Amino acid sequence: MMKIMTGHKNTSTGIISYHLISLILIAGCFSLAGCQNFIKKKTTSEVHTTPAHSNFPVSAAKPEAEQVNDGIATTCQKELVSLATINPSDYDPKRRSFEMLLHSANEYRSVRQSINAHSREIMDSFYKFKLMNLCSEIELSLQRGLIGMEDKRGEY
Per residue of the chain (156 residues), give pLDDT as tens: 333 444 444 555 555 655 655 666 565 555 545 544 444 444 444 444 444 443 434 444 444 544 555 677 789 999 999 999 999 999 999 999 999 998 999 999 999 999 999 999 999 999 999 999 999 999 999 999 999 987 777 655
Indicate whether 88 belongs to any domain.
Answer: yes
Indicate whether 152 belongs to any domain.
Answer: yes
Residue 154's domain spans which residues?
A: 60-156
Indicate whether 51 belongs to any domain.
Answer: no
**CA nearest neighbour of 70 among 21, 33, 13:** 21
Indicate whether 46 belongs to any domain.
Answer: no
The structure's pTM equals 0.58
Indicate whether 77 belongs to any domain.
Answer: yes
Indicate whether 138 belongs to any domain.
Answer: yes
Indicate whether 119 belongs to any domain.
Answer: yes
pLDDT, position 153 = 74
Q: What size, in residues, is the chain?
A: 156
pLDDT, position 9 = 47
> In the chain, how many domains are there?
1
Indicate whether 74 belongs to any domain.
Answer: yes
**CA nearest neighbour of 21 among 66, 81, 83:** 66
Q: What is the DSSP string of 10-35?
A: HHHHHHHHHHHHHHHHHHHHHHHHHH
